[in-house]
């Protein structure tokens, strides 16, 4: 007489169901954990930047607003935008203008408009007169900027961090911005001067009183 086996009524079915539920839960949780890890790492990186940032949060927002408004000025003045390739970098309320313009009149007019923006304390107009730089030149400038930033991380100056300095490169000329002590600014400029591809170094610092 053949014995019949009952299907799926014992512990095996319960176990399989439990495993399935666990797999489903893990499938939902793991991506979330991965996302949280990415957010955590991003937060740590951002936190590191904030720790080394000497500007207060209000000034950081002001600088972002100045840059945004300057870009809007170009959009609102096509007679300037059409005849120039100007970049705006604001740091601690100092507005640095770099790039090229077809005429001095175009460069000066834009500088005057930026000077009247709220929160701008001073405009440093380093726009050169001539045709726009090529994409190849822009790529070289980006590489020089990376090299200078790396060089600044190797400075042996107590209390100094490379994050204290913002680096802008235009046609091989390196502009250093930041809130630094005089000796830090001098050391940073000297370090940048010997980076491959740098043609000159311009200090656009705001100095902290010793």
pLDDT (0 to 100) of residue 121: 98
Secondary structure string (H, E, C) spanning 108-167: HHHHHHHHCCCCCCEEEECCEECCCCCHHHHHHHHHHHHHHHHHHCCCCCCCCCHHHEEE
Separation of alpha carbons 15 and 64, rounded Å: 58
Separation of alpha carbons 178 and 203, rounded Å: 9
Check: CB of residue 167 under 8 Å from CB of residue 149.
yes
Check: CB of residue 161 under 8 Å from CB of residue 187.
no
pLDDT (0 to 100) of residue 7: 40
Separation of alpha carbons 147 and 198, rounded Å: 10
| pTM metric for this prediction | 0.76
Question: What value does the mean pLDDT take over residues 46-75?
Answer: 86
Give the pLDDT confidence of 168-196 residue by residue, as tens digits. 999 999 999 999 999 999 999 999 999 99
Indicate the pLDDT class of residue 50, thresholds 50, 70 and 90. Answer: low
Question: What value does the mean pLDDT take over residues 20-38?
Answer: 45
Check: CB of residue 167 under 8 Å from CB of residue 148.
yes
Task: Point out which residues pair with 90 in neighbouring strands.
Answer: 95
pLDDT (0 to 100) of residue 179: 97
DSSP notation for 18-75 = HHHHHHHHHHHHHHHHHHHHHHHHHHHHHHHHHHT--S-HHHHHHHHHHHHHHHHHHH
pLDDT (0 to 100) of residue 100: 98
Separation of alpha carbons 119 and 92, rounded Å: 9
pLDDT (0 to 100) of residue 210: 87
Give the pLDDT confidence of 74-122 residue by residue, as tens digits. 999 999 999 999 999 999 999 999 999 999 999 999 999 999 999 999 9
DSSP state of 9: -
Question: Does residue 24 have a pLDDT over 60?
Answer: no
pLDDT (0 to 100) of residue 52: 78
Of the candidates 119, 110, 169, the residue with the CA atom closest to the CA atom of residue 144: 169
Check: CB of residue 173 under 8 Å from CB of residue 100.
no
């Amino acid at each position: 007489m053949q014995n019949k086996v009952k299907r799926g009524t014992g512990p095996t079915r319960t176990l399989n169901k439990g495993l399935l539920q666990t797999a489903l839960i893990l499938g939902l949780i793991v991506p979330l954990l991965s996302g949280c890890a990415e957010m955590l790492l991003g937060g740590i990186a951002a936190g590191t930047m904030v720790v080394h940032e000497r500007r207060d949060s209000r000034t950081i927002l002001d600088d972002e607003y100045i840059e945004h408004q300057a870009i809007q000025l170009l959009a609102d003045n096509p007679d300037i935008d059409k005849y120039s390739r100007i970049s705006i970098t604001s740091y601690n309320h100092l507005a640095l203008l770099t790039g090229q313009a077809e005429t001095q009149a175009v460069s000066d007019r834009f500088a005057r408009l930026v000077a009247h923006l709220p929160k701008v304390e001073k405009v440093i107009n380093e726009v050169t007169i001539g045709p726009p730089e090529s994409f190849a030149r822009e790529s070289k400038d980006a590489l020089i900027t990376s090299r200078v930033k790396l060089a600044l991380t190797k400075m042996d100056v107590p209390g100094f961090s490379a994050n204290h300095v913002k680096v802008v490169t235009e046609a091989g000329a390196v502009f250093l911005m930041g809130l630094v002590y005089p000796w830090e600014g001098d050391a940073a400029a000297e370090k940048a001067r010997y980076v491959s591809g740098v043609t000159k170094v311009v200090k656009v610092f705001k100095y902290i009183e010793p």
